[in-house]
Amino acid sequence: MVKRFLFEEDQAVRVTELCPSPHLEAADIGDDIGATKVVTIRGVTKKEVGAEKVLKGVVFFEEFDRGMVVNRTNSNTIAALHGGETDNWIGCRITLYRSEAAMNGKIVPCIRVKDSVPKEPEQTASPAKKGKK
């Protein structure tokens, strides 16, 4: 009989948590093609990434501990939405979505940036206070 072990009081763990990547991956956005996540940019930098230690842009978000390595497609999309100066991206919101792309002759999961600024979340009106006038 195989015992089933779960982490932290029987909470299921995503596969990305078992072997975490140093950067965001498509599965972090969602399980299905087209899954979306609205995020707020908190920083942009250049870092050496991959086994080859190639210097690439990395965008960090309020909603994730790990950053997303940006390719030309995603950086151009963000620039079209929020301008070409990356310092101006801080605090801006974008929508990431899970997609697929061809790489080395294979179709692989990837993260893309939607080409429209996400709508601001609706503010819920606070209930009127009862009591003193």
Report the pLDDT averaged over residues 14-43: 88
The domains of the chain are located at 15-113
Question: In this prediction, what percent of the chain has a pLDDT beyond 70?
Answer: 77
Q: End-to-end CA distance of the chain, in Å?
A: 68
Tell me the C-alpha distance between 21 and 69, whole Å: 11
Tens of pLDDT, residue by residue over 38-58, are 999 999 999 998 889 999 999
Entry pTM: 0.78
Tokens 């709508």, residue? 119
Judged against a pLDDT cut of 70, whether residue 130 lies above it is answered with no
